[in-house]
């Protein structure tokens, strides 16, 4: 019996031009290239220019994804944008991108789950496409974290960067087997008891300012690997697949040690792990689609491959998705 699945038709990304290396950062805060690389694997990050907003980054990534899919924007009837750094408190940054793309039908909205945002947005779009509410979705992760960093706090400012990535998802009938293309399963989790471990100390309803990112790095690290591997085990249970079946593991790019620790615990070979944290740093909701775009462009991810995505971030929130490309 055929079933309706959300199939990836295209992927695209955009990075701001300006690159800041660890050495350059060490001229303004008390840090070093050696410390940052040893603790995080990060070498450099891209930072948005003055006047370059999250919507600009997301729009470029969306255009690249549509070009990759060889599709016209007018086919899109759903935009789900994951971001914690919207252009404005409202309207949703997704509607700015919708208007810039000339789309006048369907719906566009933002999803806020911090670093897990892309997995939450993917899962949301997948539910709408499979239910028949919409047919073609742009799922975008776009962030300008540089705007909410305290550039005097060496414990956080060295970790993040700006960027955007996007995929085009289209509802298609599939045979209904393990070999189906498309999103096979998604699993989302949140636990607000951890909300004070990674947060922004401002907001429209509290301080009336955007605020700055604050983090208990060790606490985040302590929980990350366990949460990530739990939610991946959920994906395995739901599909019958396991680490041996995975062609590519594309994790949220927070920190090299978290990525390596998760892959090791799951028994995923290092050669199957897509890593971009060295060049992009942590771009929050943008990190997974940015990594996907890199691995598709360089020929690693091919149609038919089984791709495992996961993320964990502020809230805490965490989630996984298993996608046959
Ligand atoms: N440069 C040099 N020294 C630093 C820096 C820096 N940038 N930042 C902190 N230090 C110092 C601290 O002051 C401390 O010095 P002290 O011993 O004299 O007090 C020392 O380094 C150790 O500090 P810790 O915070 O204990 O360092 P730790 O080994 O835990 O590494 C890090 C910090 C990299 C943040 C780590 O905790 C981590 O990776 N946590 C996960 C956080 C993360 O990835 N967050 C991303 C957002 S959430 C997500 O996306 C999953």
| Separation between Cα atoms, residue 321 and residue 231, nearest integer Å | 9
Mark whether 165 and 20 lie in a shared domain.
Answer: yes
Mark whether 159 and 292 lie in a shared domain.
Answer: no
Instruction: Compute CA distances 312 → 96, 114, 269, 287, whole Å.
Output: 27, 8, 21, 11
Mark whether 106 and 32 lie in a shared domain.
Answer: yes
- Domain count across the chain: 2
* Residue of 36, 152, 217, 314 to test ligand 1 pocket, by largest number of atoms within 8 Å of CB: 217
Mark whether 159 and 218 lie in a shared domain.
Answer: no
pLDDT of residue 303: 96
Query: Looking at 144, 174, 204, which one is the last position of a domain?
Result: 174
pLDDT of residue 1: 81
Mark whether 288 and 221 lie in a shared domain.
Answer: yes
The reported pTM is: 0.97
Mark whether 23 and 146 lie in a shared domain.
Answer: yes
Mark whether 74 and 95 lie in a shared domain.
Answer: yes
Q: What is the mean pLDDT of each run of 10 residues along the chain (325 residues)?
A: 95 98 97 98 98 98 98 98 98 98 98 98 98 98 98 98 98 94 98 98 98 96 94 98 98 96 96 98 98 98 98 98 98
pLDDT of residue 154: 97
Query: Looking at 125, 151, 174, which one is the last position of a domain?
Result: 174
Query: Looking at 174, 201, 231, which one is the last position of a domain?
Result: 174
Look up the domain containing 69 and give its range.
3-174
Given the structure tokens 């990836």, which residue do they identify? 8
Mark whether 220 and 71 lie in a shared domain.
Answer: no
Asked if 282 is an active-site residue, the reply is yes
Mark whether 147 and 186 lie in a shared domain.
Answer: no
Mark whether 195 and 163 lie in a shared domain.
Answer: no
Phi and psi at residue 139, in whole multiples of 5°? -110, 120
Beta carbon of 254 within 6 Å of any ligand 1 atom: yes
> From the candidates 22, 56, 115, 157, which is the catalytic residue?
115
CATH of the domain at 104: 3.40.47.10
Mark whether 244 and 305 lie in a shared domain.
Answer: yes
Mark whether 115 and 139 lie in a shared domain.
Answer: yes
pLDDT of residue 72: 98
Residue nearest to atom 13 of ligand 1 (CA): 155
pLDDT of residue 178: 85
């Amino acid at each position: 019996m055929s079933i309706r699945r959300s199939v990836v038709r295209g992927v695209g990304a955009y990075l701001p031009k300006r690159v800041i290396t660890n050495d350059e950062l060490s001229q303004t805060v008390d840090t070093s290239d050696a410390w940052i690389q040893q603790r995080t694997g990060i070498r450099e990050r891209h930072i948005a220019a003055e006047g370059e907003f999250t919507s600009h980054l997301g729009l470029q990534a969306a255009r690249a994804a549509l070009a990759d899919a060889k599709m016209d924007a007018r086919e899109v009837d759903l935009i789900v944008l994951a971001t914690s750094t919207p252009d404005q408190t409202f309207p949703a940054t997704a509607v700015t991108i919708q208007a810039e793309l000339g789309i006048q039908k369907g719906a566009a909205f933002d999803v806020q789950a911090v670093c897990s945002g892309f997995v939450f947005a993917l899962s949301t779009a997948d539910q709408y496409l499979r239910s028949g509410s919409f047919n073609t979705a742009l799922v975008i992760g776009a962030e300008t974290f540089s705007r909410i960093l305290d550039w005097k706090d060496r414990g956080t400012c060295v970790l993040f960067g700006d960027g955007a990535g996007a995929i085009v998802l289209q509802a298609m009938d599939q045979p209904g087997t393990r070999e189906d293309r498309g999103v096979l399963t998604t699993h989302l989790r949140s636990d607000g008891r951890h909300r004070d471990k990674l947060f922004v100390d401002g907001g429209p309803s509290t301080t009336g300012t955007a605020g700055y990112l604050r983090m208990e790095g060790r606490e985040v690290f302590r929980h990350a690997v366990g949460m990530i591997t739990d939610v991946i085990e959920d994906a395995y249970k739901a599909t019958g697949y396991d680490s041996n079946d995975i062609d590519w593991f594309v994790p949220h790019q927070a920190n090299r040690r978290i990525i390596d620790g998760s892959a090791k615990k799951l028994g995923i070979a290092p050669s199957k792990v897509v890593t971009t944290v060295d060049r992009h740093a942590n771009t929050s909701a943008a990190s997974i689609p940015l990594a996907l775009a890199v691995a598709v462009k360089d020929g690693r991810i091919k149609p038919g491959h089984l791709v495992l995505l996961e993320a964990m971030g502020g809230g805490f929130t965490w989630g996984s998705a298993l996608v046959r490309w």
